[in-house]
Structure 1
Amino acid sequence: MKNLKRRWQLGKVRPGDGSALPEYRLWQLFSRSMLFLDLVTPSGETRVYAVDVRHMVEAKSRQQHENAVGKSPAALYRDGVQIHRSNLPTAFPVPGGVIEVATSAFGMKRVHFVAEDGTERALRPHDRSQEGLRARFGRRFPRTSAAVGVVTLLVLLTALVISLMHGAEAVTRVPAIAELVGRFVSPVDLPAWGNVVLTVAGALSAVERATRLRFNRLLDTVSS
C-alpha cells in the first residue's frame, strides 16, 4: 500500500517553471509554509531544497489555479530555482529519496524527507513562518514548550473521549441496537457554551500541533 501511495503521489508531480523562490513575507504567516532540506551530493556539494506550500489555494480550485497562473499548492525549489510543482498530498523526488508533503485543515500535516533505506527526518522551517517561530519558542523555552505540548494533547484527548461517548449514545438510541447491547447514556453533557469552548480549544490545539509537524489521524481530526 505504501508503494502504491508513493507512486500515486509521484505521478502528480509536474515539472517546475524555473522561477526563483519568492521571499517569505510577514503577512504570509498564516497562508504559507516554507521548509528546507540540505542534501550532500556524491561529489560533496551541498544542495538546498525548499518546499513552498500555499495554504489558501482551495482544494476544489487547485487545478484551475494551477492551469491559470502556473502555480500549485506546493512547489519544490533547488538552490532557489523551482524544479517541481504539485497538488497535495504529494511526494517530490530528490536524490536519495523523496520529500513527502501533506496538509490538514489546521496547517502542515507532514513535510519529511524519506530516504531510500526508510529513515526519515522533518525539514527545517523558515525562521519567520509559523513552524519556524514555534521551533524557536521551543528552543528558547523548552520546559514551557513541553508543557504547552502536553496541554494541547490533553485537550484533544478530552475532545476525543467526549465525542466517542456522544457517538455511542447516539448509536444506542437505535431500537435494534439498544435491544442487543442496551442503552448508553453519556456521563458528560456539556452546555452549549461548553461545546463552543471545547471546539475552539480543540482547533487551537490542532493548529499548535501542526506548527510542530505533529499529526495523529485520530486525535487531530476529531477537532475538525
Structure 2
Amino acid sequence: MRSSTIKLIYVIAFMDLLAASMVSVMLPNFLKTELGVSATLAGAIGSLYGFVQFFSCPLAGGWSDVHGFSGKSQKNVPCKNAISSIINEFRSISWSDQWDLFATKFLLSSAVLLYRSSYGWLLTDRFDFSAANQSFLTSYQGLVSFMVAFNVKTICSTWTKFTSKSDHSKTDINLHIYSDATVLMAVSILGLIFGLNASFTSISRCLAPFFGGLLHDYHLDGCAWASFCLIFASYFVTLFITSKVQHRLIVNK
C-alpha cells in the first residue's frame, strides 16, 4: 500500500476518533444538564454508542476481509456465514474452564466504565463543574494516558527486573495470574480468548452508561459503591484463578 494512502487512513482515523470522543463523552452530560432529562435516560442514550460499536465492528472487519483493491477479492460473502462462524467459535470455547477469566475481565471493565459513566454528572451535581472545566479535566486524563503510553517499555522492563527477585511472592502471583492462566490454554484458541475478552469489555461499555445513570438517579454515590462491589467480587474470582493455576502447575510438574 502506498505511503500516501496510509497517511490518508491515519487522518481519517484521527478525525473519526476526535468526532466520536467529542460527542460520546459530552452528550450524556449535555442531555442531563441542558435538556433536563434524567440520568437514566441520558445513560440509555449513551449506551447506544456502545451497542452500535459492538455490532458494527465485526461487520466492518468482515467486509474489509472480502473487499479490497484486487478484483479477485471483491466478492460478496453471505452474512449468515459470518454469523454462523461466530456462533461456532463461541461453542468451541470450554466455558467451564475459562469462565473465571471472562468474569474477571467483565467485572473489572464494568467497575471502571460504570464509575466513568457518571463521573461528569457527579462533578456537576456535587461540585458545580461547568462543561468547559469537565472538558479540561477529560483532556488532562487523556494527556496523562498519552504520556504514560510512551513509558510502557520502561515500566515493563523495571517490573520484569523486580519480579525476577520475588518469584515466590504472593503479590507477584496475583498480578501475573491472568497471563499465567492463558498460558495453560491451547495455543490454537489464545487468539479467540483474547478476542472474547475484548467482546466482554464491549458488553460492559454497552451496559455501563445505562446502569450508571440508573444508580446516579438513586444516589450520587451509587456508582462508586457499585464499582467497589464489582472490584471486590473480581478479587475473589482472582483468588479462585490463583488456586486453579497453582494446582495445574503442580499437576504439570
User: Higher strand fraction: Structure 1 or Structure 2?
Assistant: 1
- TM-score tier after normalising by the smaller chain length: under 0.3
Q: State the TM-score, normalized to the length of structure 1.
A: 0.25
User: Higher helix fraction: Structure 1 or Structure 2?
Assistant: 2
